[in-house]
Amino acid sequence: MNPYIVGAVFPLIVLLLRHSNNNRKRRGLPADVAGEPGYAVRNHRSASLMSSAWEGVTTLAELFERACREHQHRLLLGTRVLISTDIETSHDGRTFEKLHLGEYQWLTYGKVFESVCSFASGLAVLGHLREERAAIFADTRERWFIALQGCFRRNVTVVTIYASLGQEALSHSLNETEVTTVICGRRELKSLVDTCGQLDSVKRVICMDDDIPSDALSAHGWVVTSFADVERLGRENPVDPDLPLSADVAVIMYTSGSTGLPKGVMMTHGNVLATVSSVMTIVPNLGPKDVYLAYLPMAHILELVAENLIASVGGCIGYGTPLTLTDTSNKIKKGKQGDATALMPTVMAAVPAILDRVRDGVFKKVNAKGGLSKKLFDLAYARRLQAIKGSWFGAWGLEKALWQFLVFRKVQAILGGRIRFILSGGAPLSGDTQRFINICLGAPIGQGYGLTETCAGGTFSDFDDTSVGRVGPPLPCSYIKLIDWSEGGYSTNDSPMPRGEIVIGGPNVTLGYFKNEEKTKESYKVDERGTRWFYTGDIGRIHKDGCLEIIDRKKDIVKLQHGEYVSLGKVEAALLVSPLVDNIMLHADPFHSYCVALVPVSHPALEEWASKQGIPYSEFSDLCRKEETVKGVHASLVKEAKKARLEKFEIPAKIKLLSDPWTPDSGLVTAALKIKRDVIRKTFQEELSELYAS
Ligand SMILES: *[C@@H]1O[C@H](CO)[C@@H](O)[C@H](O)[C@H]1NC(C)=O
Ligand SMILES: *[C@@H]1O[C@H](CO)[C@@H](O)[C@H](O)[C@H]1NC(C)=O
Ligand SMILES: CC(=O)N[C@H]1CO[C@H](CO)[C@@H](O)[C@@H]1O
């Protein structure tokens, strides 16, 4: 055949195939379920719900032991050695710690298994009874994983607590679960000592760092032992394991809810195993070649599932922290390697807020460079965008390779250059950021939707699905059902697709809230066939191909004085696009006819804006108070609102600019960087009433 014809026809065929593929591929299929009537779907891969991907494996303890036998000599856990710490002082007198970190040092599966068995025995030798609960309260690190697996081998339920939760939440969760052993780092031990007046049940503390602060040693009659000593005790006095069953509670996870005290979600071994199994069937070719960069809090279900997953397939896990991820991260000494460049991971997990930051960082760099290199980047980006959206040129592999070589290679080097898959969860990811990651990192994103209460089970997008804004079909372990919510105007009979409150069912759905029958009854139901369902309070719609899209949250829809409904989350997402803002909280109430907003501004962007406008100011906070600044930021928000076609009543009529960002440390956002409305409302009560008064 004439080569020219081949050249012209081949891409056309690919295009047609791809189109028919995308249009016809049913990723979720209608499911026959019991319980409250609604529209239900399941994963296309299997008609019955999956509970384990490994024959004969029913608990996380069995799964880990199996992997250690199979991959004995492969590397499992890696941690970087600390070479030096410098303290730098900035011109305004604040001090920063800068780290020089070395190469990763690795433990094999075999060695980790020995440590886990020793730790399990040591725990028993210390006197921890198996029906007592232990808490792990620390940042993500090697010993976190070892302690977790050690507890599993003794059928000890592990209570997890975010390291950034406040004192009140800490004492509440330790007290409620009557924890007797706390496993923590040196820094967390200090906050424990500060809270200790209220901790009646704690008898012993295991400190992951060897240099135990001396004031902790004598405090409050606790027995404080170093992690290394516990392992040594266990090595010298081995104790038989006491393995759990599938229905035994593996973890009680305290979630930093956006209201009130945290609630402990009880998850069984079977629950977590179902999610781990399901995610494994969806991420393509996960195996011993994979290297995972671990830096999200282990107390987040996404990270807990991810680490157990990687350790089940023979992959390796290298530990890092959010502040040392890249070469330019805050805590990395200039000129030294960040975690990603030292590890060169193939798989990472991320929450959307982190991916948004990566995107903004790259665009900022490109814009700062300007000139030809910006033109080249923009062109490359536009071409790849076109290609991914399925246009004709998408089939030209050569062009892709060219842009890859000229432009995207440098972006990919930021994360080590080998990323092939990113798991995203915790909140919906914006379409823009998803495209950015697809294009610049050349990697698919598996976007998951799930909650702690469903053990992160729910939905997960297929790696070959190039659409944006959706969270995929149900995981093989979950049913997704929409039920009518008439008050909010959502119905499963809506066209073009059914809409309603999302309810998740299956073996992944957890037992409920610890010692909180009332809240459990409110959100969990068991149907006549014995399937457990969790009522998420999220509003979604299901596309023709069986994929879910999250469109709203029940709690975040407020009725204004004249009866219009405002969806706070939807409006915030639209306004956040403004480059001048760092975050935003929209406030609406039934006593007023308009909304207002609190807006922590983007420090560098606003300074740049002010200098362009020629607005003089002494302090940054002073700039934020100026009327012309407020007007400027408001105008920018209105512009974004119009682009997103928001209604007039949805646009905040008045705003208050805040000069300080909202961070997890301040308690105003969760560790996953979701805003905590109630806390923010309380903290800024005065500002809010001023907005309505003026
Ligand atoms: C594991 O521990 C729980 C709680 O103490 C207990 O109810 C259960 O029977 C134990 N499982 C086994 C297999 O012993
Ligand atoms: C701890 O729990 C007990 C009951 O288990 C309760 O009576 C007590 O008030 C709690 N203390 C704190 C500080 O929460
Ligand atoms: C693995 C697991 O926990 N399976 C449970 C799923 O839910 C049903 C019904 O509630 C239980 O019977 C299973 O044991």
Note the pLDDT tens digit of each residue in 298-317: 988 899 999 999 999 999 99
Element (H, E) at 205: strand 204-207
Boundary residue ending a domain (519, 553, 587):
553
Domain boundary among 537, 553, 569: 553
629 domain residue, yes or no: yes
Paired tokens of 606: 């606003």
Query: Taking CB atoms and a 6 Å cutoff, what residues make up the pocket around ligand 1?
Result: 131, 155, 244-245, 248
Question: What is the count of structural domains for the chain?
Answer: 3
Which of 60, 62, 129, 131 to mutate to test ligand 1, by most ligand atoms within 8 A of the CB atom?
A: 131
Give the position, in ligand 3's atom list, of the atom nearest the Cα of 273: 1
pLDDT of residue 6: 38
Give the type of residue at 394.
G
Whether residues 458 and 520 share a domain: the answer is: yes
Among protein residues, the one with the nearest Cα to ligand 1's atom 7 is 248
Nearest CA to ligand 2 atom 10: 175
CATH of the domain at 675: 3.30.300.30
Lining ligand 2 with CB less than 6 A are 171-172, 175, 198
Residues 191-205 have pLDDT tens digits of 888 776 668 899 999
User: Which residue's alpha carbon is at the smallest distance from atom 1 of ligand 3?
Assistant: 270
Distance 653 CA to ligand 2 centre (A): 45
CATH code of the domain in which 539 resides: 2.30.38.10
Q: Which atom of ligand 3 is nearest to the CA of 58?
A: 1
Percentage helix, strand, coil, to 5, in the chain? Answer: 40, 20, 35
Same domain for 472 and 393: yes
Starting from the CA of residue 512, give the closest ligand.
3
Q: Could you tell me if 540 and 608 lie in one domain? A: no
Residue nearest to atom 9 of ligand 2 (CA): 175
- CB atoms < 10 A from the CB of 675, how many? 21
Residue 130 lies in a domain: yes
Q: Return the pLDDT at 570.
A: 83
Cβ atoms 224, 204 nearer than 8 A? yes
Asked whether 507 lines ligand 3 (CB < 6 A), one says yes
Q: Are residues 518 and 636 in the same domain?
A: no
Give a yes or no: residue 539 inside a domain.
yes
> Does any domain span residue 263?
yes
372 and 253 both lie in a single domain: no
Nearest-atom number in ligand 1 for the CA of 244 is 13
Q: Looking at beta carbons, which pairs linking 550-556 to residues 24 or more positions away fall under 8 Å?
A: 550/428, 550/449, 550/471, 550/502, 551/499, 552/488, 552/490, 554/485, 554/488, 554/501, 556/677
* Residue nearest (by alpha carbon) to ligand 3 atom 13: 507
Residue 517 lies in a domain: yes
Taking the chain, what is the end-to-end CA distance rounded to the nearest angstrom? 77
Tell if the pTM clears 0.95, that is, is over it.
no
Long-range contacts of range 624-630, CB-CB < 8 Å, 24 or more positions apart? Answer: 624/657, 624/658, 624/659, 625/657, 629/657, 630/655, 630/656, 630/657
Q: Report if residue 313 sits inside a domain.
A: no
Q: Which atom of ligand 3 is nearest to the CA of 530?
A: 9
SS3 447: strand
Q: Which two tokens stand for residue 197?
A: 């007046």
Judgement on whether residues 372 and 443 belong to the same structural domain of the protein? yes
pLDDT at 190: 85
140: amino acid identity, one letter: T
Residue 622, in any domain of the structure: yes
What is the 507 CA–ligand 3 centroid distance (Å)?
A: 5
Which of 59, 246, 248, 524 to probe ligand 3 with, by most ligand atoms within 8 A of CB?
Answer: 246
Expressed in angstroms and rounded, the spacing between residue 61 Cα and the centre of ligand 1 is 14
Name the strand (E) or helix (H) holding 253.
strand 249-255
Query: Does 167 lie in the same domain as 123?
Result: yes
Is the sign of the CA dihedral 299, 114, 247, 459 positive or negative?
positive
> Could you list the residue range(s) of the whole structural domain that residue 532 is in?
24-49+351-417+419-553
Residues 268 and 381 in one domain: no
Q: Give the pLDDT score at 94.
A: 80
266 plus 366 within the same structural domain: no
One domain for residues 149 and 277: yes
Best residue among 175, 195, 254 to mutate for probing ligand 2, ranked by most atoms within 8 Å of CB? 175
| Residues 496, 566 within the same domain | no
Q: Which ligand 1 atom is at minimum distance from the Cα of 155?
A: 1
Q: Is residue 6 part of a domain?
A: no
- Ligand 2 atom 4: the closest Cα is on which residue? 176
Distance 169 CA to ligand 3 centre (A): 30
Ranges in the chain, pLDDT < 50:
1-22, 391-395
Whether 461 and 367 map to the same domain: the answer is yes
What is the CATH number for 159? 3.40.50.12780
